[in-house]
Amino acid sequence: MHAIVDQIQSVDLNAGEETRRYLDTLTKPPGSLGGLEALAIQLSAITGELKPSVTPPAVVVFAADHGVAAEGVSAFPQEVTAQMVANFANGGAAINVFARQIGAQVEIVDVGVVSPLTMQGVTSAKVRHGTANMVVEDAMQVEQALAAIDVGVTAVERAKSAGAKCLIVGEMGIANTTASSAMLAVLTGESVASVVGAGTGINPQQQAHKVAVIERAINARQANPEAPLEVLAKLGGLEIAAMTGAYLAAAAHRLPAIVDGFIATVAALTACRLCPAVRGYLIFGHRSQEPGHDIALKALEAKPLLDMGMRLGEGEWCRAGLSITASSHRDDA
């Protein structure tokens, strides 16, 4: 496995307990701030500090293409991945607006977009030009999955060196709900039909086709559910691997990491299967409209902070959620 896993230690439960005791000294019935208190306790356990700060935050968006897009599983064509990367780089996407509002730097990382894409504002870290079509062959080799994990690790290390105190990970990849649904079905043993949703907005007929495509891929690839790296390589995606690496690195460097959306949660599940101690470092931002998200959250015993019907995937939670997270530790009352 990637060497970063050896650097991961469990969160500091004693620091969490100290914060719980402190919260109980404040002028309110013990525990009456519910989830906000749980968040404050978790942030202390992550950082080891009684009053940690989550600002400034960093947003990192990983982008890559998926060979399975050729099966007609998305409402959008593959070219949209590269178009959106250009949009992120030009500051015109939703995540740019939200990031500006919370004072976050944004890094866009090309970990495997099909087109060449050399433009200012995009970190070029292509492991390959999109994955292969998982119905026909393994999406990628295990070595490529490891290289993509490494792209995520180094992006987090850059953000930490630049002073980030919390990490918001987003993604862009046409057809990546197909890849994540396939991974999730194998990792949890749930039926494909129960995890698959409309993604970017396909109709019920196209959704039935998407289920059939994923079932064919799962049968053809025969990934071992107990081997997360194999599941990632055979059925996953380059940006999903990079996000997995980002969560591993966040844990290794004791940075709170926000898991935002369905694809991100499947990457988080993969990271936790690779190293269970990662779980304590993850904060679940919001509940996506994608039906598989509930299944992934249940597998992680996670309760998201917000439920607003969002299903973008760029890191959109950050605008609404960062203020909640930050307020759990504001000491100006």
Ligand X SMILES: O=C(O)c1ccc[n+]([C@@H]2O[C@H](COP(=O)([O-])O)[C@@H](O)[C@H]2O)c1
Ligand Y SMILES: Cc1cc2nc[nH]c2cc1C
As measured in angstroms, the least distance from the Cβ of 3 to ligand X is 29
* Rg over CA atoms, the chain: 19
Cα 259 from Cα 169, distance rounded (Å): 7
**Is residue 82 involved in binding ligand Y (CB under 6 A)?**
no
Residues binding ligand X: number (CB under 6 A): 21
Q: Where are the alpha helices (DSSP H) in the chain?
A: 13-23, 34-47, 79-89, 94-102, 142-161, 176-188, 192-195, 204-221, 228-235, 238-252, 262-274, 292-299, 317-327
What residues from 183 to 222 belong to the interface with ligand X (CB under 6 A)? 199-200
Options 263, 266, 295, 297; binder of ligand X; rule CB under 6 A: 263
Whose Cβ is closer to ligand Y: residue 73's or residue 146's? 73
Least Cβ distance, residue 120 to ligand X (angstroms): 22
Chain CA centroid to CA 194, Å: 21
Which residue in the set 11, 59, 82, 84 belongs to the binding site for ligand Y (CB under 6 A)? Answer: 84
Q: Is 17 a catalytic residue?
A: no
- 316 near ligand Y, rule: CB under 6 A: no
C-alpha 50/C-alpha 331 separation (Å) is 11
The binding track of 49-88 with respect to ligand X, each residue x by CB under 6 A or -, is -------------------------xxx------------
**Among the listed residues 4, 23, 80, 175, the single contact to ligand Y using CB under 6 A:** 80
Secondary structure string (H, E, C) spanning 182-237: HHHHHHHCCCHHHHCCCCCCCCHHHHHHHHHHHHHHHHHHCCCCCCHHHHHHHHCC
| Choices 44-52, 76-84, 99-107, 293-301; region in contact with ligand Y by CB under 6 A | 76-84
The answer to whether residue 172 forms part of the interface with ligand Y (CB under 6 A) is: yes
Among 297, 286, 280, smallest CA distance to 319 is for 286
CB-count burial class (<10 Å; 0-12, 13-18, 19+) for 118: exposed
Whether 170 contacts 314, CB under 8 Å = yes
Give min distance, CB of 104 to ligand X, in A.
18
Find the binder of ligand Y among 313, 321, 325, 328 (CB under 6 A): 313
Q: Which of 122, 233, 312, 318 binds ligand Y (CB under 6 A)?
A: 312
Interface residues toward ligand Y, by CB under 6 A: 76, 80, 84, 172, 200, 312-314
Active site residues: 314
